[in-house]
Amino acid sequence: METENTYIQLLTELKQKIRQAQQRVALSVNTEMLVLYWSIGIDISIKIKEASWGAKIIDQISKDLRNEFPDSKGFSVRNLKYMRAFADAYPDFLHEDFSKSEKVIVQPAVAQLQSTDNQQHEFAQGALAQVNHPILQPLVALIPWTHHTIILDKIKSADDRLFYIRKTAENGWTKSVLTFQIESRLHERQGKAITNFDSTLPKLQSDIAKQMLKNPYVFDIMGMGEDIKELELEKALIKEIRKLMLELGKGFAYVGNQYHLQVDSEDFYLDLLFYNFHLHCFVVFELKIGAFKPEYAGKLNFYVNAIDEQIKGKQDNPTIGVLLCKTPNETVVKYSLKGIKSPLGVADYQLPKKLKSDMPTIEELESAIKKTKNGEQGG
């Protein structure tokens, strides 16, 4: 048995060394590629401005580079234009002043990430572990090239670009998730929910909790046309809500939907229950179709207290409750939360404009969710 344990320990250590080496290799390759692309972009940008060549020169450069390096796929006209845009967007990419201003901004958040199999998370963590290299200090060096092209295409503000670079590095977003977050304007929504966290949580925990909440939440149920079936809607809605909560990043783990609680002889069912490993607490999400009503805060407070009494461990922090509803009136919400000792937050949700015409009405959604609840309770 001792020999077996020793072998398992050795194997674990070897796997860790291999993964760390793979991270360093991936980081090195990405870094060198970004440096090369930035340098090419700077050279092209300067020559076009100084020599008055005109942007058409990029077509000729692309042709000549591809003839010289036929196995390289990075020298298309489109990619060379991205390189120029990249250099113009981050002119101080290799300079010390940029490094000092932006270094380690994402380190506190990324350092809190739980170990996962997600390669994007590993990449971000590996990048931050190498901050002694001057090129690794800027935020710009922490994400892959393809993500940069998406940000360059869709974001014009320098501050907003750095926001999405930071969030990508923190949360390991794929290209599709990054695109969705940009198109749903996460930079305008994050941290905007109405809460009582300042009065119910310690400052550090309150700040982290507020940054994890968006207002509004955007439900992007793709592929749902006019011929959508009721059962398809039910499944898609629950799946989408769960996916969006997990995409908040920063340590959310899914516990269950229609989570059963029994208080004395009465049964209750929470819409969604998560655990957050950074805040070390359970998080209850309740979805209400329609505008906010004061009684919703009381019901959510009840659920939070029940979780605290029945499930929360001694090492856990107080449970947080989040209510998603349509167009909450800020004053009504503040009055409703005042005096409640449990940490609660209220946020809006919406569907993208392009989907609204194909989606069922609010009343139809409410009916579908009620049937989902009743069906699962009966099962």
Helix (H) or strand (E) holding 218: strand 217-218
Q: Quick one: 71 and 122 in the same domain?
A: yes
Inside any domain, residue 189:
no
pTM for the whole thing? 0.49
pLDDT of residue 286: 83
Residue 43 sits in the same domain as residue 174: yes
Domain of 31? 2-183
Separation between Cα atoms, residue 371 and residue 240, nearest integer Å: 17
User: Residue 207 is encoded by which pair of tokens?
Assistant: 């700040």
Each residue's pLDDT tens digit in the chain (379 positions)? 567 778 888 888 898 888 888 777 777 788 888 889 999 999 999 888 887 777 788 999 999 999 998 888 889 999 999 999 999 988 877 654 333 334 333 332 333 322 333 444 444 444 334 333 344 345 677 788 999 999 999 998 888 888 888 888 877 777 877 887 787 677 665 555 556 556 566 665 655 555 555 544 444 544 443 333 434 444 555 666 677 666 655 677 888 888 898 888 889 988 888 888 877 889 888 877 667 778 888 888 888 889 999 999 888 888 888 887 765 567 677 767 776 777 767 665 554 443 344 333 445 444 544 555 565 555 5
List phi, psi (to 5°) of 374. -65, -40
| Same domain flag for 169 and 200 | no
- Structure confidence at residue 211 (pLDDT): 55
Q: How far, in Å, CA of 331 to CA of 328, rounded?
A: 9
CA distance 359 to 228: 8
Same-domain pairing of 264 and 164: no
Query: Do 152 and 253 fall within a single domain?
Result: no
Q: For residues 199 and 172, state if they share a domain.
A: no
For residue 72, give the H/E element and its range.
none
Boundary (domain end) residue, out of 157, 183, 209? 183
Which two tokens mark 224? 């749902």
- 145 shares its domain with 126: yes
Report how far residue 184's alpha carbon sits from residue 169's, in angstroms, rounded to the nearest whole number: 19
